[in-house]
Amino acid sequence: MPGDNIIVGISQEILSVFFDPLKRVYWVYLLSAAAVAFVWLKFRRNLSFFSAIRKIFSKASWWNTSARADYCVMAVNSALMSVISPKLLGQTAVAYLVFEWMHTLFAGRPQTLEYLPQWAMMAAFTVILFVLDDLARYVVHRMLHRVPVLWAFHKVHHSATALNPLTVFRMHPVEGVIFAIRGALVQGITIAVFVFFFGSKVQLLMVFGAGVFNWMFNAFLANLRHSHIQIGFWKPVERVFISPAQHQIHHSISEHHHDKNFGVALAIWDWVFNTHCHSNTQEKLVFGLSAESTEESHRLSLLYIQPFLEAFRTATSPIRRLREVRKTATQNSLP
Amino acid sequence: MKFKTMLTLFFVGTLLPALAQSESEVYMNFPITVKGYAGDKTDSASYSGQIARHLLHNSLKKLAGKGNGEPNEELKAKMMAYYAGTDEGREILDPKSKDGFAIKQTMIDEISKGKELKGKTYKGAVNSWPGYMTGPEVLEFLIDKASSANKGYDPITGYDYGQLISKFMMGAVFYNQAVDNYLDERLTADKNPNDKPYKEGRHYSGKEHVWDEAFGYFGAPAHAIDLEADQAYSIAKRKPDVMAAADHNSDGVVDLKTEMTYAHAYYAADADKGGKTSYLSDITGAFIDGRKLITAADSNALTDAQRAELMTIADTIKMKWEQVIAEATFKYAGSVYKDLQKLIAIVEANGDVSDAFRAYAKHWGELKGFSMALQTSGKDLGETAVKINRLIGFSPVHLDGNQVTGIDGNGNYMTASGSSMAEYMVHMVKLQNLLGDAFNLTKRKNDATSQLADLIESVGASKGAETD
């Protein structure tokens, strides 16, 4: 039946992320994150073997109202994005467009740079792509917080009152579209520029099916950012790489934590642009939008519809204010 | 049951099918099925007329490079004798025997008499060439120009007439005849019926010969399936190290009727080198399958079901043959792209461009010729054809950005300022993308953007399902 096919398709789409080395929740990365968490709890927090295991896999962390909403949003988004993604501007379109445009810009295509050693080209491409991608994530993430209309959508992610690795999928589809376009632009432009100048020498340094830096980030840090395990780094390191605890601060409802630590893998952007905050693993963090979060805050219909209403109200508030000012002025001018 | 009877049954039951299996790998030794045939022929496969035309084409290409830069009526007459003549005594100018690669025949008549190319050329309008001409008119125009060019090359326009004539002719004659005639209307029930000889007294039925003729135009050796792609390719190059592979009947000479690689079979083999594609064996295998089906009908009229099956096989051949031509077009678009890159660098360094421009003209001739051939199948390629022609234009872009735009009343080329060479590089990129998508290409040799695709794949699609 067609309905069955759709359900099977969506199920496959959801499950595929656990088997794709390019995704954060690839089963190997989840396993390695659990191992890192275990080592941290056992040797840094001095928990017993079983206490550490119980803490990592505690039902309270993985099966609460907020977590269940995460899973539902992930399922709905998988279905929605499988329809939306093919219609979005992709890396391929951007890369080809920029590659072609550069021929006109440079009146041809230089040959000489192809003689540079391949190892240098591979290293340069891998590092620059990682750095630019991370910077773009920082910029977009910061805008999602600072631009009121965008914040209306990003609030869905911050409405999580408990964090687990699948919270990374708790997002409004509008934000999904924004992130997809960001990725397409940054990756498409970087790939096109490198290929244009360095041709066949350009390759991504890969480990087990993923770019080396993404692999390292995903294998050891990415899944602990959204978790209840507070792992902090030595302060000088936290200026360069964001620790899981630093990202958990980003989710904290405490006012002094607001608009801090927008970075993804690198902390240098936060440091340079004054949004940096060190972790304090002794501090008890409360996650969410406010202390008044209720079960209602995790209702699916609210998570999907409320952002549109709020974004509309935010976008139209200057017009409403202008009308009020005019109305007041008219009333005051009456005899 | 006696032991001898059992042994005989075992032999018949197991070994004979195995022998039949091994025979089926070669496009020859098909039994005579025509009822009442009284002649001495034992193989009903026959396509010598098509091989003669391949040799006329090969020879004509050779002649196209014989000009000295001055109008030459003698050369033109000789070229026309190979294109439109039917006279006896025409020598095979290519391929010829050489050390380590002996060829059986030296004259066209040894293959088939009275054959010509003009009458078999695509009669439709050729929109890919200026001047609003039909297929035969375009070829006669090119032959005229080639005869007065210096070794077939005009450095002013950048035309390599040998390449243009050869690549277009392969489409306009061989491809068109096969896919728009023999594998199309000649497979209908009332044309060349299978329950009658092709012609009175012939040793093959109507459908048997129709199918053979299409196979002959493809240009594969009869034993192509037994050959590796690079062997089939090297046979056309007459490389001594493939002499043994070419000489299927081990008589010490290569029989041009059955053991040589020609035309699109050569380009299929070229694409197949490296193993990404298998056009040569797929197309030859399909031809053998179709021929077996017709032979099995034993000179009875084909049923509707048999004809439907045959049409399905024919469709496979048509599709893959089209892909072979599209792959060649794709490859030369990549060559032209690289040539332009080199040319721009030489111009910027104030170097001598003559050799680089000659290579560019050769590759452009191949590109243009194949793209023109692609449009001779009788099938309307619609906007794909329009875009292909627009992207390539009527000539290579010259160093000053000029390009041929038409032909005046006296047969002279008209030029106008068009794209720069850098912009023309972009045209080649767009052309490769268009060809790759429209014809679902796999080999994609000389792909100017393969690195883009590879990197995009290794980086992974950004579907935007994750946030922070």
The pLDDT score that the predictor gives to residue B19 is: 43
- Counted residue by residue, chain B has a size of 468
Residues of chain B with pLDDT under 50: 1, 11-24
Query: Rounded CA gap, A121 and A114, in Å?
Result: 9
DSSP state string for B218-253: HT--TTGGGS-HHHHHHHHTT-GGGHHHH-TT-SSS
Contact B330, B432 (CB under 8 A): yes
Query: Rounded CA gap, B155 and B215, in Å?
Result: 38
| Residue B349 touches chain A, beta carbons under 8 Å | no
Point out the residue among A95, A109, A171 whose CB comes nearest to the CB of B456. Answer: A95
Query: Rounded CA gap, B467 and A162, in Å?
Result: 16
- What distance lies between CA B417 and its chain's CA centroid? 34
User: Which element (helix H / strand E) includes B309?
Assistant: helix B304-348
Omega before B95 within 30 of 0, i.e. cis: yes
Residue of chain B whose Cα is closest to the Cα of A156 = B467
Q: Tell me the three state secondary structure of residue B32.
A: coil
Reported in sequence order, the residue ranges of B223-274 that DSSP labels E, i.e. its strands, are: none
- Chain B positions touching A155 (Cβ under 8 A) are none
Could you give the C-alpha distances from B134 to A128, B115, B178, in angstroms and in order? 55, 21, 19
The pLDDT score that the predictor gives to residue A322 is: 87
Query: Rounded CA gap, B377 and A307, in Å?
Result: 57
Query: Rounded CA gap, B343 and A108, in Å?
Result: 10
- What distance lies between CA B437 and its chain's CA centroid? 21
Q: Do A200 and B451 touch (CB under 8 A)?
A: yes
Contact B258, B248 (CB under 8 A): yes
Residue B177, CB-side half-sphere exposure with 13 Å CA sphere: 24
Contact A255, A65 (CB under 8 A): no
- Which amino acid does the sequence have at A214? N
Query: Rounded CA gap, A89 and A92, in Å?
Result: 8
More confident residue, B418 or A125: A125
The chain-wide mean pLDDT, for chain A, equals 91
Query: Rounded CA gap, B37 and B82, in Å?
Result: 34
Query: Rounded CA gap, B385 and B388, in Å?
Result: 5
- Chain B positions touching A192 (Cβ under 8 A) are 452
Residue B143 lies in a domain: no
Query: Rounded CA gap, B168 and B164, in Å?
Result: 6
- Per-residue model confidence as pLDDT tens digits over B42-83: 999 999 999 999 999 999 999 999 999 999 999 999 999 999
| Residue A236 touches chain B, beta carbons under 8 Å | no
Tokens 């395990």 sit on residue: A229
Q: Do B452 and A96 touch (CB under 8 A)?
A: yes
Domain boundaries, chain A: 2-333
Contact A253, A290 (CB under 8 A): yes
Nearest to A314 by CA among A154, A179, A173: A154
Nearest to B143 by CA among B169, B113, B171, B175: B169
| Residue A75 touches chain B, beta carbons under 8 Å | no
Q: Do B425 and A108 touch (CB under 8 A)?
A: yes
| Residue A118 touches chain B, beta carbons under 8 Å | no
User: Taking the CA atoms of chain A, what radius of gyration do you get in angstroms?
Assistant: 23
Residue of chain A whose Cα is closest to the Cα of B420 = A107
**Phi/psi of residue A229, nearest 5 degrees:** -95, 110
* Residue A1 confidence class, pLDDT cut points 50, 70, 90: low
Contact B13, B173 (CB under 8 A): no
Could you give the C-alpha distances from B46 to B111, B115, B301, B343, in angstroms and in order? 11, 15, 20, 48
**Phi/psi of residue B150, nearest 5 degrees:** -85, 110
Beta strands B159-160 and A206-207, pairing class: unpaired
| Residue B437 touches chain A, beta carbons under 8 Å | no
Q: Do B421 and A108 touch (CB under 8 A)?
A: yes
The pLDDT score that the predictor gives to residue B40 is: 93
The pLDDT score that the predictor gives to residue B16 is: 44
* Residue A110 confidence class, pLDDT cut points 50, 70, 90: confident
Nearest to A282 by CA among A239, A248, A251: A248
Residue B381 lies in a domain: yes
| Residue A204 touches chain B, beta carbons under 8 Å | yes
DSSP state string for B60-103: HHHHHT--BSS--HHHHHHHHHHHT---S--B--SS--BTTB-B
User: For testing the chain B interface, which of A71, A109, A150 should be mutated: the one with the most B CBs within 10 Å?
Assistant: A109
Nearest to B137 by CA among B84, B60, B81, B98: B84
Q: Do B467 and A157 touch (CB under 8 A)?
A: yes
Query: Rounded CA gap, B390 and B426, in Å?
Result: 13
**Cβ partners under 8 Å of residue B109, min gap 6:** B88, B89, B90
Domains in chain B: how many in total? 1
Q: Do A176 and B421 touch (CB under 8 A)?
A: no
For residue B382, give its domain range: 326-352+362-459
Q: Do A175 and B461 touch (CB under 8 A)?
A: no
- Per-residue model confidence as pLDDT tens digits over A210-266: 899 999 999 999 999 999 999 999 999 999 999 999 999 999 999 999 999 999 999
∠ at Cα A42 (A37, A46), nearest 5°? 130
The pLDDT score that the predictor gives to residue A2 is: 58
Nearest to B449 by CA among A109, A204, A125: A109
Residue B271 lies in a domain: no
Beta strands B413-417 and B402-407, pairing class: antiparallel
- Label residue A68 exposed, middle or buried (CB < 10 Å: 0-12, 13-18, 19+): middle
Q: How far apart are the first and last CA of chain B?
A: 83
Q: Tell me the three state secondary structure of residue B138.
A: helix
To the nearest whole angstrom, how far is the Cα of A69 from the nearest Cα of chain B? Answer: 15
Residue B269 lies in a domain: no
Nearest to B97 by CA among B252, B266, B265, B263: B252
More confident residue, A290 or B292: B292
Tokens 């098909």 sit on residue: B30
- Chain B positions touching A204 (Cβ under 8 A) are 455, 458-459
- Counted residue by residue, chain A has a size of 335
Query: Rounded CA gap, B302 and B293, in Å?
Result: 9
Specify whether the backbone of A52 is left (phi greater than 0), alpha (psi in -120 to 50) or beta. alpha
User: For testing the chain A interface, which of B336, B420, B455 should be mutated: the one with the most A CBs within 10 Å?
Assistant: B455
∠ at Cα A60 (A57, A62), nearest 5°? 55
Q: Which residues pair with B68 in a beta bridge?
A: B150
Residue B347 lies in a domain: yes
